[in-house]
Amino acid sequence: DAKTTQPPSMDCAEGRAANLPCNHSTISGNEYVYWYRQIHSQGPQYIIHGLKNNETNEMASLIITEDRKSSTLILPHATLRDTAVYYCIVRVAREYGNKLVFGAGTILRVKS
């Protein structure tokens, strides 16, 4: 699976959009970009994933650059409850023997 690079931490004002970047310059054509988050000591929570098109769901939007070498997770109106560690993971979708490998992630602090 391709390696990802994320900033160690970011701050965001409550109510503003939080934009979390992720670099994955060695991504392969069949690898998806997944985002998970972990709120303090809770189980990681799936947010969104995509292959090459931008994706949106009720939690967030995922913007993937045309060359697929980087992506941005957007939380449109961050709240204090969005304070968490956000993980960007790249891997093929097929699951046989293909676990999720978590890096250090980005600590997002939403401040009032």
Sheet containing strand 61-64, edge to edge, reads 18-23, 70-75, 61-64, 55-56
Of 34 and 82, which has the nearer Cβ to other proteins?
34
- The least distance separating other proteins from the CB of residue 75, rounded to whole angstroms, comes to 18
- Altogether, the residues listed in the chain come to a count of 112
Of 14 and 59, which has the nearer Cβ to other proteins?
59
DSSP conformational letter for 58: S
- The least distance separating other proteins from the CB of residue 58, rounded to whole angstroms, comes to 14
Asked whether 111 and 15 are in contact (CB, 8 A), the reply is no
- The least distance separating other proteins from the CB of residue 15, rounded to whole angstroms, comes to 27
- The least distance separating other proteins from the CB of residue 13, rounded to whole angstroms, comes to 27
Of 81 and 112, which has the nearer Cβ to other proteins?
81
Of 76 and 103, which has the nearer Cβ to other proteins?
103
Asked whether 17 and 77 are in contact (CB, 8 A), the reply is yes
Residues of the shown chain interacting with other proteins in the complex, contacts defined by CB under 8 A: 32, 34, 36, 38, 41-46, 49, 91-105
Asked whether 98 and 34 are in contact (CB, 8 A), the reply is no
Asked whether 20 and 108 are in contact (CB, 8 A), the reply is yes
